[in-house]
Structure 1
Amino acid sequence: MDTDMSGYVNETLGRLSDQLYVTSIGIYSVAALLFFVALAMGAKVKTYAGDLAESDRQARELVGASASSSRSVPAAGDRTPGRVSGPPERRPRNRAAVLSAAAYPVVILGLIAHIASIVLRGLATDRAPWGNMYEFIALTCAACVLGAVVVLRKPAQRPLMSFVLLVVILMMFIGGKWLYTHAAPVVPALKSYWLIIHVSVVSIASGVLLVSGVVSILFLIRERWPSTMDVLPSSDTLDRVAYKCVVFAFPLFGLGVICGAIWAEAAWGRFWGWDPKETVSFISWIVYAAYLHARATAGWRTAAAWVNVVGFVTVLFNLFAINLVVSGLHSYAGL
């Protein structure tokens, strides 16, 4: 433990926070697997339903041809060819909906463990638990999962959480494997109430924007391969979900940038200095403003989705590359 940053640290709570962090990753992995299985089962059910509809159509054509050549009335008890549905015991039950419904509370359980990990980290260090890259990633991922739980709460949309959880699991793995920092007090430059306001607002907005980016990627896949990706919700549904996320997160992200500028003026004597983190944050804000403009333009729905994916990339770049690769004033957050 560093000795130059004096302050009380409860190591027991710190270890418990780390354990809950790993536990949440495991629970998210189970939930993602359940959702992917539900998607696969949904595809099987849709394929069976399509085959059944085609058989029924052919049977109706056969009945029509028979009726035109013969007007005889079938005897009582005869089977009508138009009712080709197969024995009930042979029909595949829609277990996809049942499995998806079971996976949803698993995600919530993982989110509870995740939030508990963040809270215990704060109690262990007696500060806002987002003073370094590891903690910032943890908070952003929690906001991403919470956003997915809310915006994808409809039963037909819940399996989409599998793709969001994949991104979250990867980010949390990177955070825990290469960005992990032991629970400790923050450097003096971060001992400000603006840390609570600025970082939390930006993290929440970034997490919701990640959900929007994942959904826009699925929208583009759905548009490119409409028949093979029929297991996904309709393009209209995916487009609306992505748009709702950006409508919520865009002003919040802008507020976070403004709060950061106010904090910069108090800490460094200027509101804006084109620091790499500031610059990429501004670029992200411009990209999402362009998305909202393109989304409101008739016939630009696909182009808007591409713009949203670009915004998704800039958010990820700002989360990782700026602090890891580029040197700037925000690098003191440390690893």
Structure 2
Amino acid sequence: MILAAADEGLADLSNLLVYSSMAVYVLAFLAFTTEWIFGSRSKVARTAAALTAERDTAEAAVPAQRPVVTVRKAGATGVLDPPKVVTRSATPARDAVPDGPGAAGGDEQGDMYGRIAISLTVLAFLMHLTAVVVRAISVERGPWGNMYEFSTAFSMVVVGVFLALLAARRNVRWLGLPLVTTVLLDLGLATTVLYTESAQLVPALDSVWMWIHVPLAILCGGLFYVGAVGSVLFLVRDRYEAKIAAGGTPRPLTTSVLERLPSSVSLDKFAYRINAAVFPVWTFTIIAGAIWAESAWGRYWGWDPKEVWSFITWVAYAAYLHARATAGWKGRKAAYLAIAGFVAFLINYYGVNIFFDSLHSYGGV
């Protein structure tokens, strides 16, 4: 009886820590937003703009040699000026653009808010991590036995990946605002719609594979999410750069925001490297699930909805990686495949657990 009360108390503490981390994530969201408002363009952008202005000034200072065209008609000779040709400055290469907040430049005020945002994100992550660990202690098992626990662990991994990239001195601070926004939405959904009281596992889940298959699925989902954000931002940035290359004039607000993102080339490479690194792990995750299925249900594969959508996710990312190696499918088409793969992952998680009659439906909703 005392043990049960202690477990309940730990579960309540875990919930309190989740709510506390959400409050700090909100502060981080506000700090990231403030950074984007006050942050200026990076040195790369300012240098490119200065060089373009100097080139235009030099071209204007030296009058162009205008050839003379002689027109001869029967009984008369005249001299005509050639038609005036209007040209515009060459568009800088797509990789010669800023790499977003916290890159090579940005004013002091914007950088200060960015550092505050990172500090708050670290504090929120530590609370979040502690909440997941306390939940595991309260139920004496892995803290991913239902949709609530999976969601809290998933968002924790997403933030952990972001902070790990920062610790590795990767310039990914631009990822902070969309990431913290998504984490808040995920935790809000988990604590309201998906919340489940702490309980023991059903017999089919009580296996050593619970500590292998599910954590790997959470890790893959977190990395797939980061790659999907990169692909979405690539599409936005690529369209913006294409409009400029065609001589268009984007709206000032659009320019102010998109110039703080990495170049489309950088975003494309970022998404590809993340997805290429996680794909073998996802492959092993599916294999581990099949081995677990044989142990629990006596068959490796039965085309259960969860298995089907896991396979669809695998096919989508396999097609993406193949497309990246095919000249005709690089860029936007490949990015659409990467986004489709993550959508399939979300359907596999939310759709199967809520709307399908599946052996894997342990959502507790």
Matched with 1:323 is 353
Counterpart CA distance in 1 for 2:276 and 2:290 is: 22
Contact 2:31–2:114 (CA<8 Å) still a contact in 1? yes
1:101 aligns to 2:115 (yes or no): yes
TM-superposed CA distance for 1:231, in Å, is 1.8
Amino acid at match of 1:145: V
SS of the residue 1:231 aligns to: coil
SS of the residue 2:212 aligns to: helix
Counterpart CA distance in 2 for 1:307 and 1:55 is: 36
Amino acid at match of 1:319: Y
Relative to the length of structure 2, the TM-score reads 0.76
Kindly provide the CA deviation profile for residues 90-143 of structure 1, in whole angstroms up to 9, marking residues without a partner as x: xx9442222222222221221111111110001011111111110011111111
1:247 counterpart (276, 279, 303): 276
Contact 1:9–1:126 (CA<8 Å) still a contact in 2? no
Counterpart CA distance in 2 for 1:186 and 1:201 is: 19
Cα–Cα, structure 1 residues 325 and 279, in superposed 2: closer, same or farther, change >3 Å? same
Amino acid at match of 1:327: D
1:267 aligns to 2:264 (yes or no): no
Cα–Cα, structure 1 residues 95 and 62, in superposed 2: closer, same or farther, change >3 Å? farther
Matched with 1:136 is 150
Counterpart CA distance in 2 for 1:239 and 1:55 is: 26
Structure 1 portions without partners, runs of 5+: 1-5, 66-91
Counterpart CA distance in 2 for 1:111 and 1:264 is: 33
Relative to the length of structure 1, the TM-score reads 0.82
1:121 counterpart (127, 135, 153): 135
1:192 aligns to 2:207 (yes or no): yes
Kindly provide the CA deviation profile for residues 240-273 of structure 1, in whole angstroms up to 9, marking residues without a partner as x: 2111211222111111111111110011110001
Counterpart CA distance in 2 for 1:253 and 1:166 is: 25
Matched with 2:324 is 295
TM-superposed CA distance for 1:306, in Å, is 1.0
Cα–Cα, structure 1 residues 100 and 271, in superposed 2: closer, same or farther, change >3 Å? same
Alignment of 1:47-86 (within 5 A): 49=46, 53=50, 57=54
Counterpart CA distance in 2 for 1:251 and 1:62 is: 53
Kindly provide the CA deviation profile for residues 134-190 of structure 1, in whole angstroms up to 9, marking residues without a partner as x: 001111111111122223554743022211222222112111110101112122222
Matched with 2:226 is 211
Contact 1:284–1:314 (CA<8 Å) still a contact in 2? yes
Amino acid at match of 2:188: F
Matched with 1:222 is 237
Matched with 2:337 is 307
Contact 1:284–1:311 (CA<8 Å) still a contact in 2? yes
Contact 1:28–1:106 (CA<8 Å) still a contact in 2? yes
Matched with 1:77 is none
Counterpart CA distance in 1 for 2:272 and 2:60 is: 48
The 10-residue stretch of structure 1 (182-191 or 169-178) with the greater mean CA deviation from structure 2: 182-191
Counterpart CA distance in 2 for 1:57 and 1:294 is: 41
Counterpart CA distance in 2 for 1:58 and 1:244 is: 36
Cα–Cα, structure 1 residues 37 and 273, in superposed 2: closer, same or farther, change >3 Å? same
Structure 2 portions without partners, runs of 5+: 63-105, 245-254
Counterpart CA distance in 1 for 2:204 and 2:349 is: 20
Counterpart CA distance in 2 for 1:8 and 1:192 is: 26
Cα–Cα, structure 1 residues 7 and 128, in superposed 2: closer, same or farther, change >3 Å? farther
1:256 aligns to 2:285 (yes or no): yes
Aligned-pair identity (%) = 37
Amino acid at match of 1:115: L
The 10-residue stretch of structure 1 (254-263 or 161-170) with the greater mean CA deviation from structure 2: 161-170
TM-superposed CA distance for 1:13, in Å, is 0.9
TM-superposed CA distance for 1:297, in Å, is 2.4
TM-superposed CA distance for 1:318, in Å, is 1.6
Cα–Cα, structure 1 residues 253 and 115, in superposed 2: closer, same or farther, change >3 Å? same
User: When you count helix as a share of all residues, which structure comes out higher?
Assistant: 1
Matched with 2:262 is 233
Counterpart CA distance in 2 for 1:321 and 1:286 is: 18
Matched with 2:70 is none
Counterpart CA distance in 1 for 2:176 and 2:28 is: 9
1:277 counterpart (306, 310, 315): 306
Contact 1:206–1:249 (CA<8 Å) still a contact in 2? no
Contact 2:39–2:107 (CA<8 Å) still a contact in 1? no
Bigger radius of gyration among the two = 2
Cα–Cα, structure 1 residues 305 and 151, in superposed 2: closer, same or farther, change >3 Å? farther
Q: Name the count of aligned residue pairs.
A: 304
SS of the residue 2:144 aligns to: coil
Counterpart CA distance in 2 for 1:51 and 1:295 is: 30
Amino acid at match of 2:275: V
Contact 2:354–2:363 (CA<8 Å) still a contact in 1? no
TM-superposed CA distance for 1:33, in Å, is 2.3
